[in-house]
Amino acid sequence: AQKITQTQPGMFVQEKEAVTLDCTYDTSDPSYGLFWYKQPSSGEMIFLIYQGSYDQQNATEGRYSLNFQKARKSANLVISASQLGDSAMYFCAMRGGGATNKLIFGTGTLLAVQP
């Protein structure tokens, strides 16, 4: 069975500093995808970044980068130069093999950016 673990219920970071949100996963599928979503207080899940299991390089999208360590089964999200608007819940998710694109989510990390 697939599983996503996020061990940090909450994190604080100072504005303009970088922060790393942890995510570990478990799967027996040889091919899978890892995603990070942001959920502000409004409730909508916003896609941030994707990493495929066969991708050779770590994914980057603007201030977001994914530190993918396949042997350790970790896919940590790094946010550089934090902004007040980054305060939100962050969810790590995994999509396994098979025909569906169904995502399995972790429990999330609440990030608070302090001025």
* Cβ 98 to other proteins shortest distance, Å: 8
Q: Which two tokens mark 55?
A: 């991708």
Contact 36, 95 (CB under 8 A): no
Nearest-angstrom CA–CA distance, 63 and 7 = 22
User: Which stretches within the chain are classed as H helix?
Assistant: none
Nearer to other proteins, 15 or 61 (CB): 61
Contact 100, 50 (CB under 8 A): no
Nearer to other proteins, 42 or 115 (CB): 42
* Cβ 37 to other proteins shortest distance, Å: 8
Residues that bind other proteins (CB under 8 A): 4, 31-33, 35, 37, 42-47, 50, 52, 91, 93, 95, 97, 99-108
Residue tagged 């303009």 (tokens): 16
* Cβ 7 to other proteins shortest distance, Å: 13
Nearer to other proteins, 71 or 99 (CB): 99
